[in-house]
Chains A and B, each alone.
Chain A
Amino acid sequence: MDKVLTSRHGPLVAGGILGAIAALLVYFGNPANMGICVACFTRDIAGALGLHRAGIVQYLRPEIPALILGAFASSLLYREHAPRGGSSPIARFFLGVFAMFGALVFLGCPWRAYLRVAGGDWNALYGVGGLFVGAGLGIAFLWNGFSLGAAERNPKAAGFVMPLVALALLALVVLKPLFGTEGTGPIFFSKEGPGAAHAPLIISVAAGLVIGWLAQRSRFCTVGALRDLLMMRDAHLFKGVVAFTAVAFIVNYALGQFHPGFEKQPVAHTNELWNFLGMVLSGLAFTLAGGCPGRQIIMAGEGDSDASVFIMGMLTGAALAHNFSAASSGAGVGPYGIPVTIIGLIVCGLIGLGFRDNQKAV
């Protein structure tokens, strides 16, 4: 199996299995068209930790820490665990913040963009289009000399930080401590809304571990897929995205979870322009940071502190997006979603222009 995963067909195989797992997670209780979404689930974790007070999106999604642990285990077993970091961490933090702003204007990470399409939510096609444009902008910056600089090897202990954080999150979701001053918290759980919809813990953890493992071995990356396709005419990662979407569609269809249309789609709005521009912002930020949020989680498991800082930026961005009323909802774009997206595009543009490779090319 590992030979297949690490071959050029690896992303295709992994993508297909990921798509099936994602659709099955909906069947087992995760929100519709949100079997797995790194942006939404990180936002739910931010809510569970009390970083934002949007009561309907608070759950310590076990899939995210399990993804980290799956990738950690896989990278250790195959001797690819490599603690590293130090490549413009503060820029990566803000790329994470703005990637999350864009994702929450659209309502989904790239994984969910494709899962929404696979569930019949045609609004997501604008998001996928935005992702292509955002990745294209990122590529233009890359060809223009953009670089966040080289990372360096870190002490071995650095590679254990995120796996330990992941274990702590899993412990919190099991223990559900309630010793806050008002008799709730410090961990919050939604009683209604998307945050209250979730698969049983054991299924979520198992799914996260398997996906983390598969994605680590195959390098499945939805942003890398576009980047390699547009930059290098290399479609091997993109085939993974196609398989991911196609298998999710087939499983959705078989389970009665395919509902085509624009209106009344789950956790989605119908504003075409901001579905598109939200994902332009995300696609740009992900491309500048070197990979989609799923890939950043996997790299964090492999010991990459820069990817870990990006995730912390996403966690912070999720909290800020809700606290600043910039996150969208089923009712439409949030009151400050539009200015935040514009600011994000400007900031990412400045990062794209301002960070240069100061290493000798050859």
Chain B
Amino acid sequence: MSEIITIDASGLSCPQPVMKTKLVLDKTPSGHIEVLVDTATSRNNVTRFAENKGWKASSAERDGGYKVTLEK
């Protein structure tokens, strides 16, 4: 199994969580990525962006925020 890439975007304002995700997705054709965010808005934005790029996204609550898991 390939390495899990973790993006820590906790506490960042819009649109930085999506920007950070974009920078990683642009150079990652497939794999397993976890994005840490602290608001539902950032969770939704990251999920929508990744799904638009053809990734499968799921999210779970974690202490103080959410973990969005992206797979392709």
Residue positions of A touching B, CB distance < 8 A: 6, 8, 78, 80, 82, 84, 86-87, 142-143, 147-153, 219, 221, 224, 227-228, 231-232, 234, 236, 289-291, 302, 306, 357, 359-362
Contact = CB atoms under 8 A, between A and B. Distances in A.
A150 B10 contact: yes
A290 B14 CA distance: 5
Nearest to B15: A227
Interface in B1-24: 5-8, 10-16, 18-20, 22-24
Given A290-B15, A359-B8, 6 more contacts: A87-B13, A147-B12, A147-B13, A151-B38, A227-B15, A234-B48
Nearest to A237: B45
B19 A142 contact: yes
Contacts of A236: 48
B44 interface: yes
The 6 closest A-B pairs by CB, nearest first: A150-B11, A290-B13, A151-B11, A80-B40, A290-B14, A153-B64
A357 B16 contact: yes
B33 to A, nearest CB: 9
A336 B23 CA distance: 42
B38 A232 contact: no
A234 B52 contact: yes
Q: Main secondary structure on chain A at its contact with chain B?
A: loop
B22 A232 contact: yes
B41 A84 contact: no
B49 A232 contact: yes
Contacts of A221: 14
Contacts of B64: 153
Nearest to A362: B7
Contacts of B59: none
B11 A84 contact: yes
Contacts of B39: 80, 82, 84, 302
A219 B48 CA distance: 13
A80 B48 CA distance: 18
A227 B5 CA distance: 26
B11 A152 contact: yes
Nearest to A88: B13
Contacts of B11: 84, 86-87, 149-152
A150 B39 CA distance: 12
Nearest to A236: B48
B41 A362 contact: no
B28 to A, nearest CB: 10
A136 to B, nearest CB: 14
